[in-house]
Amino acid sequence: MKLRVIAILLAAMLAIVALATPAYAAVASKDVEKQLMCQCGCSMVVDVCDCETANQIRAKIAEMIGQGQDENQMVAYFVAEYGEKMLSAPTKKGFNLVAWVVPFAAVIVGGTAMVFILRAWARKGRGEGEGEEVAVALPVSVEESDEYRDRLLSELKRFKEEGAR
């Protein structure tokens, strides 16, 4: 009886392992495909490309999974075969590190520069009115108002006469 239970448990565990292996392999295959660029010229990742070249790469990945190679070994094989252009993202070492660092550094430098520029503009805007005299219109008496109106009318009349000539 105990032997029978152990045999059934052992068979169940083997079945689970056998069923889980293809699922794991499919996940590993997709993980590798996402790291590699198709070489047909379409500039797409192997994971989404439908061309024959991508299918050949997928077949090679499946073959390598069958041989028991891990993700790093497969990626290294394709880099050795096609060069670093095969990678969908640059490596994080050597000169390629620049591709990872420069965008973040540019955002930081640009943001810092904007802060200083905006502060300078704000200071300049606040300081413009200082030291300037502002003309204030004072109330005008009725006599002065009549005098200004008469002067305006006479100048407009003279302007019309000179313009008619």
Is 161 a member of any domain?
no
* Residue pointed to by tokens 């392999």: 25
Evaluate whether residue 45 is within a structural domain. Answer: yes
Average pLDDT over residues 105-131: 85
Average pLDDT of the residues in 71-95:
81
Expressed as residue numbers, the domain containing 25 is: 2-89
Q: Are 64 and 73 in contact (CB under 8 A)?
A: yes
In-domain check, residue 148: no
pLDDT at 153: 94
Non-local (6+) Cβ contacts of 42 within 8 A are: 49, 51
Confidence of residue 154 (pLDDT cuts 50, 70, 90): very high
Whether 65 maps to a domain, the answer reads yes
Instruction: Report the pLDDT value the prediction gives residue 128, as an integer from 0 to 100.
Output: 59
Alpha-carbon distance of 119 to 130, in angstroms, equals 18
List C-alpha distances in Å: 114 to 61, 104, 127: 48, 15, 20
Question: Is 143 a member of any domain?
Answer: no
The residue with tokens 């000539």 is: 165
Domain total in the chain: 1
CATH code, domain with 83: 1.10.8.640
pTM above 0.75, yes or no: no
Return the amino acid letter for 71.
Answer: E
**Contact indicator for 33, 64 with CB cutoff of 8 Å:** no
Question: Do the domain assignments include residue 47?
Answer: yes
